[in-house]
Amino acid sequence: MTQSKMEQYFKENSDKNNLFQQEKISRYLDLRKLYNKLNKSIKADGAVISVENGKQKFVKVNPAVSEKEKLNTQLLNLEKELYSSIEMSKIKARKSVHKTPPKEDKGGLV
């Protein structure tokens, strides 16, 4: 199975040892899949659907539309959290690289 560009980004830029970050990434990717399924459903059935209830027939907004809106809000919030978390990990990694003491050969008397 091919990875999406998002999955590749997370794989390349996230901290593999940060369990909370990995859990958020997993949740984010699951929500994106669900969001895409809702999108396909709306495209297939339309934004407005006909409902029959016995002899009554009426038109209403597809429930997938409101669910998609809710998911969009959750995705945006998770994106902000993940982006800041990944950026903080990158900053910490850069700082730790700069703090390593230089190796110095202390030559002995020969």
Reported as a single tens digit per residue, the pLDDT across 23-46 is 999 999 999 999 999 999 999 999
Tell me the per-residue pLDDT of 93-106, one tens digit each, with 9 for 90 and over.
788 766 656 566 66
- SS3 state of residue 52: strand
- SS3 state of residue 56: strand
* Contact present, 22 and 10 (Cβ < 8 Å): no
